[in-house]
Amino acid sequence: MNDPFLFGQIAAANALSDVYAMGGRPITCLNLVGFPAKKLDPDVLNQIISGGLSKITEAGAVLAGGHTIDDDEPKYGLAVTGVVHPKKYWTNTGAQPGDRLILTKPIGSGVIFNANLKKWVSAAALSECLAIITELNKTAAEVLQQSDVHAATDITGFGLAGHSYEMATASGVCLELEIDNIPIMDEALQMYERGVSTGVNRTIRQLVESSMRFDRNLPDWHREIILDPQTSGGLLVAVRELQAAELVDALRKAGVAGARVIGRVTPLRDAVYLVIK
């Protein structure tokens, strides 16, 4: 994969997600660009910015400017400003025992990208992965705003385990994740089984392993999927149990095809913040 337009789309979707993860609406964006002007054609920069702008426009926001510097390799991101009702914003601190957990996108992009460098990933699986990570969390956030979201976060560089751990510790609860219900990108598990991983998996494991317990007898390679770092991943939300099934149905009808109930919130016991069942 060597597509500057797609690169811009992925980076912009990832940056915009932080506003959606708080239940907000993006308003303005500033480009932050590092570009090796002596190595790459200016059209590459134009395509990166165009890709980002396509997602900014899709979000209903505007590109208000930005800053570009000469750098050794291309880097692109956004500073995003949004708005949210002061009494209706989401944080990762309010998950309550009895809540159900909804995840809106499959995981696995980290290992898919690394395995693709070895040319082990099929064209279909890579295409699916790219479609997932360029999808904005806009629709998911809009659907979820109609419900009583107790806690929310987006799943990005710390993987499902790392961001779940942050929600659990911030809320003072335990999150039980049901491994069979977690949506996983096609071929991601196969890549872990073949020995592919990412440089971030070990870091995330060190963060969570002392506070995490597996109640399932899974091979080590299968356990790695919850550590997989995501680029522009989905939203993880804690909602009332009675709302969960209806919300997933509403998300899917709105086009958020990967939405699943993946677990529940339980009282904290023995400083175990994550249980994989």
Structural domains present in the chain: 4-83 (3.30.1330.10), 100-276 (3.90.650.10)
pLDDT digits (tens, 9 = 90+) for 187-226: 999 999 999 999 999 999 999 999 999 999 999 999 999 9
Question: For residues 228 and 195, is the Cβ–Cβ distance under 8 A?
Answer: no
Q: Taking the model in full, what pTM does it have?
A: 0.96
Helix, strand or coil, per DSSP, at residue 99: coil
Query: What is the model's pLDDT at position 132?
Result: 98
What is the residue-averaged pLDDT of the chain? Answer: 97
pLDDT digits (tens, 9 = 90+) for 117-136: 999 999 999 999 999 999 99
Compute the C-alpha angle 181/110/153, nearest 5°.
Answer: 60
**Distances from the Cα of 271 to the Cαs of 76, 173, 175, in angstroms?**
39, 9, 12
- Dihedral angle of Cα 243, 247, 248, 251, to the nearest 10 degrees: -170
Query: Has residue 101 got a pLDDT over 90?
Result: yes
Query: What is the model's pLDDT at position 2?
Result: 82
**Distances from the Cα of 125 to the Cαs of 7, 190, 193, in angstroms?**
18, 11, 16
H or E element in which residue 68 lies: strand 62-70
Question: For residues 112 and 189, is the Cβ–Cβ distance under 8 A?
Answer: no
Question: For residues 56 and 96, is the Cβ–Cβ distance under 8 A?
Answer: no
pLDDT digits (tens, 9 = 90+) for 16-47: 999 999 999 999 999 999 999 999 999 999 99
Query: Has residue 1 got a pLDDT over 70?
Result: no
Phi, psi torsion values for 73, nearest 5 degrees: -145, 155
Q: Which two tokens stand for residue 76?
A: 């692109």
For range 265-269, the mean pLDDT: 97
Query: Has residue 156 got a pLDDT over 70?
Result: yes
β-pair partners for 154: 235
Cα–Cα nearest to 150, from 171, 175, 181: 171
How would DSSP label each residue in 149-218? EEEEEE--TTHHHHHHHHHHHHHTEEEEE-GGGS-B-TTHHHHHHTT---TTHHHHHHHHGGGEEE-S--
Query: Has residue 93 got a pLDDT over 80?
Result: yes
